[in-house]
């Protein structure tokens, strides 16, 4: 007898329902990081612009607030730290100015203003050798930078002649300009009294009293210019031609 061959048939359908491949796939929506970063950058730049405007108007506290918001939005931008350092120094807070200058240089060591900010803050703290070292570090990278050169000249001049005697006419003028006697007379003038009652103005005056060579820097402030204008009999003061921050 012939052997019986088993035919291969179609496998019987399983009683278990098959799982749909479509249900197994999870569709994920990609996050548009480019759009998010652009929005963050735009917000930070807006805060910086408001800070610049406030600083130009002499509202240093407001400027610091806006620069801080810019830093919170984008802490990788060295310019925000540079600008806040300038605002802190203008307010008379050299310690925070120095801290921000160091942060600026840490983020971008190829930014000339970082060394100017650091040198100026150290100068205000009367750390003359450290200030000279900061300016020297900047000049090694930027030998033709006018701001660094001027800062270096100023701190060397004060280090050699800290009291402003012997040819320091500007320093001697600042000492007499804001002497206790002169401030007492100024407080009697109703136009000057509001300025002298402003803690920020008085902080700048005290900085000039302790460091007369800072007078040119302080006179970039509109309120100080207004005060000087009133002292010289010019109602409106002078024009503020200080260079705006970046």
Predicted local distance difference test score (pLDDT) of residue 100: 97
Q: In this structure, what are the phi and psi dihedrals at residue 214, rounded to the nearest 5 degrees?
A: -85, -5
Predicted local distance difference test score (pLDDT) of residue 240: 34
Predicted local distance difference test score (pLDDT) of residue 114: 96
pLDDT band at 187 (very low <50, low <70, confident <90, very high): confident
Per residue in 74-112, pLDDT (tens digit) is 999 999 999 999 999 888 888 999 999 999 999 999 999
- Which of 66, 122, 56, 57 has its CA nearest to residue 89? 122
Predicted local distance difference test score (pLDDT) of residue 115: 96
Residue 52 Cα distances to 28, 63, 198, 204, 237, angstroms: 42, 7, 21, 19, 21
Q: How many CA atoms lie within 13 A of 73 on its CB side?
A: 20
Rounded Cα distance between 246 and 85, Å, is 12
Per residue in 125-164, pLDDT (tens digit) is 888 999 999 999 999 999 999 989 989 998 898 888 765 5
3-state secondary structure of 133: helix
pLDDT band at 57 (very low <50, low <70, confident <90, very high): confident
């Amino acid at each position: 007898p012939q052997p019986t061959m088993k035919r291969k048939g179609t496998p019987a359908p399983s009683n278990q329902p098959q799982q749909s491949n479509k249900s197994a796939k999870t569709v994920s929506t990609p996050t548009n990081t480019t759009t998010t970063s652009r929005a963050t950058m735009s917000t930070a730049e807006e805060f910086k612009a408001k800070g610049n405007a406030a600083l130009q108007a002499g509202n240093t506290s407001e400027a610091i607030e806006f620069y801080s918001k810019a830093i919170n939005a984008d802490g990788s931008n060295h310019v925000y730290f540079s600008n806040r350092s300038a605002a802190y120094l203008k307010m008379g807070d050299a310690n925070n100015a120095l801290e921000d200058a160091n942060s600026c240089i840490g983020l971008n060591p190829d930014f000339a203003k970082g060394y100017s900010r650091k040198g100026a803050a150290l100068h205000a703290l009367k750390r003359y050798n450290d200030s000279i070292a900061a300016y020297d570090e900047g000049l090694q990278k930027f030998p033709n930078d006018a701001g660094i050169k001027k800062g270096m000249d100023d701190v060397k001049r004060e280090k050699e002649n800290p009291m402003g005697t012997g040819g320091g006419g500007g320093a001697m003028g600042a000492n007499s300009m804001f002497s206790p006697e002169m401030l007492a007379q100024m407080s009697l003038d109703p136009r000057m009294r509001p300025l002298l009652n402003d803690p920020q103005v008085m902080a700048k005056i005290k900085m000039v009293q302790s460091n007369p060579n800072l007078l040119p820097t302080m006179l970039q402030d509109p309120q100080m210019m207004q005060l000087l204008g009133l002292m010289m009999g010019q109602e409106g003061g002078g024009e503020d031609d200080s260079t705006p921050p970046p």
